[in-house]
Structure 1
């Protein structure tokens, strides 16, 4: 697989994403449903935003690894949150995770009026091989 990053600017670097990612010669694409802070028994978390973000990341990693893909090859990440104001102080958690895996992904963050049950953040990804 070949990846090419397109960044007409440098300001996005401080925000841990790229403007576009071109992928050529991939052998597979994994489209991951939004992962949230739901435990192994299917119970939605009632915890704070930080805790929910950490569990959503853990669940996203679990699905990606179970499919035999690597987080470093996430090329598209969408974040849905019920409060960007509440999420923003914890954004470093996401940035550290991106750095840990050496990811270079296109990113969109959306504030929504609600998520399933008591959930506050959801992560949706596209991963390539």
Structure 2
């Protein structure tokens, strides 16, 4: 995680999770047409520039957070019925990395370099 402060604060988040080999194509298919309600909730909760990358059984997530209460915004996302239904489809495609904290589904990654 990293941040810069100026007119508007922005924090970069990276995380990682495994994708099940037999579920990779299903996961890609789901993300080829993410539900508009899910995307709208992310936008309303100050998530910008969100990407997910794949390599060798891992999914790597990156997004920028521009709000001022990350915990509250994440709670709003988790409470959203459309997002909960989306997760019911995507979660079975994934499993935690060994180093994930007990409270993490996607494990946080440490940012070691950024070129602005």
Regarding TM over 0.5, the answer is no
TM-score by length of 1: 0.25
TM-score by length of 2: 0.27
